[in-house]
Homo-oligomer: A and B are copies of this chain.
Amino acid sequence: MEKQSVTIYTVAREARVSMATVSRVVNGNPNVKPETRQKVLDVIKQLNYRPNAVARGLASKKTTTVGVVIPDITDPYFAELALGIDDVASMYKYNIILTNSDSDDEKILKVVRNLLAKQVDGIIFMGHDVSDELKNELASTNTPVVVAGSVVNDDSLPSVRIDYQAAAKEATAFLLKRGAEQVAYITGPLQYSINSGDRLSGYKNALADGNKDFDDSLVIETDGSYQAGYAKAKEIIEKEIKAAYVTDDSLAAGLLNGLTDAGIKVPDDFELVSSNDTKYTKLVRPMITSITQPLYDIGAISMRLLTKLMDGDDSNDDEKNVILDHGFVERQSTRK
- Measured CB to CB, the closest approach of chain B to A114, in angstroms, equals 7
Give a binary string over A25-62; 1 marks a CB under 8 Å from any B CB, 0 the rest.
Answer: 00000000000000000000000101111110110000
Residues of B within 8 A of A267 (CB): none
Query: Known: A54-B63, A284-B284, A285-B257. Contact between A100 and B87, CB under 8 A?
Result: yes
The segment out of A90-98, A174-182, A231-239, A240-248 that lies at the interface is A90-98
Inside 8 A of A116's CB, which chain B residues have their CB?
50
Cα–Cα distance between A73 and B260 once the two chains are bound (Å): 30
Interface string of A71-92 (1 = CB under 8 A from B): 0111010011011001100100
- What is the oligomeric copy number? 2
For the complex, what is the distance from the CA of A95 to the CA of B116, rounded to whole Å? 12
| Assembled-state Cα–Cα distance A4/B116 (Å) | 11
Q: How far is the CA of A100 from the CA of B57 in the complex (A)?
A: 23
Contacts of A57 in B (CB 8 A): 54
Residue numbers in B under 8 Å from A115 (CB-CB): 95
Bound-state CA distance A280–B114 (Å) is: 34
**Bitwise interface map of A from 111 to 139 toward B, beta carbon under 8 Å scored 1, else 0:** 10111111100000000000000000000
A sample of 14 inter-chain contacts (CB < 8 A) reads: A2-B141, A50-B113, A51-B117, A74-B279, A87-B100, A90-B100, A95-B97, A95-B99, A95-B114, A97-B97, A257-B285, A260-B285, A283-B283, A285-B285
Identify 5 new A-B residue pairs, CB closer than 8 A, beyond the known A52-B58, A87-B100: A52-B119, A54-B119, A55-B58, A74-B279, A260-B285
